[in-house]
Structure 1
Amino acid sequence: MTEAQAPRLTFRNAEKRDVSQLVSIENQCFILDRLSHRSFLRMLEKGHSDIIIAELNNVAVGYALLLYRRGASLARLYSLAVLPEYRGAGLGAALINQAEQRVRAHDCVYLRLEVRPDNLGAIKLYKHLGYRQFDVKPDYYEDHSEALCFEKRIIYPHPVTRLQVPFYCQTTEFSCGPASLLMAMAGLNRDIAMTQADELQLWRESTTIFMTSGHGGCGPHGLGLAAWRRGFEVDMYLSHEQVLFIDSVRSQEKRDVISLVQEDFMRQLEATDVRFHYCNITMQMLINHLDAGHIPLILISTYRINRNKAPHWVVLTAHDPHFIYLHDPDVDNEHHASESDNCYVPVSKAEFVAMARFGRSQLRAAVVISRRSLDSASIGQS
């Protein structure tokens, strides 16, 4: 075969005109969980994504679809497809290599993916390319099959020591605080249940009654009190002593209720050994807590994630020289997100400092929980 006759493999970004070809590849490669014409079009128009098309002699033979998480250094290989007649020639590995180059250009520290446990060929390929399994998601696919979650560190290959914190997805739009507290408590005590009933019970105990709109969210006072009642030590860090979230509502009646709720929480907290620190918790303080096995809940603004200025609770789970890692209980199912996009999410330390504040007052709040020592347990029971 002459050089001119040799197969020529090229890669390019997908465009709107390629949607029909992408759907054709999708339908030839998959029986279930297929992406539709509308889904591909939405990815190209609005998605925080890349679609890479592999062409052999100018004929589309496969694609890789990457999703990026806004505000985090994380990417996900949402779909990888190679036409059946072209498999076994290294095209899958070549597409993954292209995907990794894109991820590296986006400064993403991890590339993650899901795969069916019966897709042995794909699992072998991923392991060969340096991916490791880090989780299993039950009832993930359309036929209720579980998914194996794999990841590969793309940049900054420093070792990461992770706290073993299970993931829990909030079941309502207003219960990020209770969901985060459930994860933190279960990370310290495996006997802690993580159910919707427990989530809503925590919300009932911790809610501020009113927030920006709709149902009230949970503030640090209520969450700290709920954790203490369940046998944990609590350190609470607040940037100021004023009533929290009061600037987020306009009605004076609602502002008065928020004030009364916080006053009541403070009265209850005075009877506990919860430790208050009126200061901005620093990155080094957070790192020290993580190294000691303590689990911080942090209040952030979602503006740097989805451009909505809403208060939101997340759980810190790890750190390394470049990143802080978090569990975010709010899974964006409308944009093809999965739980693996929301656990151990790497956020650059500078980005995290910018997002860990809320409102005009630049409120910074953290609730750090840890296992109760024998001495403190006796104090709590006295």
Structure 2
Amino acid sequence: MSAAAAFAGGIRRGSLADVEAVLALEALFPSDRMSRRSVRRFLSVPSAQLLIAEDANADVVGNLVWLRRKGGHAARIYSVVVAPAARGQRWGERLVSAMETAAAASGCARATLEVRADNTAARALYAKLGYREAQTLPGYYDDGSDGLRLSKTLSV
């Protein structure tokens, strides 16, 4: 799939032109932010994809980074961010669904992610999309908060 290829639902593959928009979204949240260096790296390595959600005005309202090890059969959702003003419009769902489609098309049979145990909104979204708890991660986050590893079998 080319870097400019579009996904359904206002989702497209990210490019270096999106770095500032991704960093602006990251700045809206108090912790676990990606750095400029990380964003640029995710956009340049073959083991990562950054998906961008755009609204009808072509404003960036969300993004998702997913990773895949060379020769691996699992996709790992590294980060999902949706602007607070765009919540409730199914952008998170669309980003995750677009990632699953791309991951399955590239041969991934499973998707995994880590989520804060206290993030009830994200946990509800992932449960709705078929993700199941695979492991509890005590003290996983920098602030000492617990995490959960979730997993889903993808239709290849």
Structure 1 length-normalised TM: 0.38
CA distance in 2, matches of 1:66, 1:51: 7
> SS in structure 1 opposite 2:140?
coil
Higher Rg: 1
Q: 1:31 matched to which residue of 2?
A: 30
CA-based RMSD: 1.2
Q: Residue by residue, what CA displacement relative to the aligned partner does 1:8-50 show, whole Å, maximum 9, x if unpaired? A: x51111111110110001111x211110111100111225111
Q: Does residue 77 of structure 1 match 2:72? A: no
Q: 2:111 matched to which residue of 1?
A: 111
The structure with the greater share of residues assigned to helix is 1
CA distance in 2, matches of 1:155, 1:124: 21
> SS in structure 2 opposite 1:99?
helix
Q: Does residue 66 of structure 1 match 2:66? A: yes
Q: 1:55 matched to which residue of 2?
A: 54
CA distance in 2, matches of 1:25, 1:81: 7
Between the aligned residues of both structures, percent identity stands at 36
Unaligned runs of at least 5 residues, structure 2:
1-8
Q: Residue by residue, what CA displacement relative to the aligned partner does 1:138-175 show, whole Å, maximum 9, x if unpaired? A: 2211101121010100036xxxxxxxxxxxxxxxxxxx
Superposition pairs for residues 121-136 of structure 1, below 5 Å? 121-136=121-136
Q: 1:173 matched to which residue of 2?
A: none
C-alpha displacement of 1:72: 1.3
Q: 1:43 matched to which residue of 2?
A: 42
Letter of the aligned partner of 2:54 in structure 1?
A: E
Superposition pairs for residues 220-239 of structure 1, below 5 Å? none
CA contact (8 A) 2:116 2:148 kept: yes
Letter of the aligned partner of 2:23 in structure 1?
A: V
The structure with the greater share of residues assigned to strand is 2
Aligned residues, how many?
Answer: 147
CA distance in 1, matches of 2:33, 2:63: 14
CA contact (8 A) 1:107 1:155 kept: no
CA distance in 2, matches of 1:111, 1:42: 21
Q: Does residue 143 of structure 1 match 2:143? A: yes
Q: Residue by residue, what CA displacement relative to the aligned partner does 1:209-234 show, whole Å, maximum 9, x if unpaired? A: xxxxxxxxxxxxxxxxxxxxxxxxxx
> SS in structure 1 opposite 2:60?
strand
Q: Which structure exhibits the higher relative contact order, with contacts defined as CA atoms closer than 8 Å and separated by 6 or more residues?
A: 2
C-alpha displacement of 1:71: 2.0
| Runs of 4+ more than 3 Å apart | none
CA distance in 1, matches of 2:20, 2:26: 10
CA distance in 1, matches of 2:128, 2:13: 26
Superposition pairs for residues 227-306 of structure 1, below 5 Å? none
Letter of the aligned partner of 1:139 in structure 2?
A: G
Letter of the aligned partner of 1:54 in structure 2?
A: A
